[in-house]
Structure 1
């Protein structure tokens, strides 16, 4: 089985590589060098959904550097190269992005 990212070029034309990955249940979350998160079904390798983080939350494109599933919180922690940190939730095709400090107070 092999995974193919939704696209293989960033908006600037650079090659996109997977830079972070984690498993959440039967799904694989992949973060890439273009700041995109793609979620695949582990059993079929089919794309469930994909989103460019910077298009949702604003700011400039920044690579995903780390992803960690937080099962108790039902979230995925996402760190970007620019220093931003988010707690992400996904239920089907509905996803939310929130700055981490909002949830840590």
Structure 2
């Protein structure tokens, strides 16, 4: 499984527009065949900071997502809403069971 944590710093003046725009990205990403989970979280300590927490079946699913129309369209508009570039960390995750 591949996990991605993307920190998103949103311009406070554009926050509502960002939240509206990202809904279609979330909906369409969740519908992808290799997606396990795709969640937007709001930081409880820092204003206007969000984290996209993604879980994907494998690297191929991530590559497919990264080239999808809905993802590339959002990335093309992201600079309108963000105050800094996305800070994404990618992990190859293995569930540890007792």
Higher strand share: 1
Taking structure 2 as the reference length, the TM-score comes to 0.29
For the pair shown, which has the larger CA radius of gyration, 1 or 2? Answer: 2
The structure with the largest helix share of the pair is 2
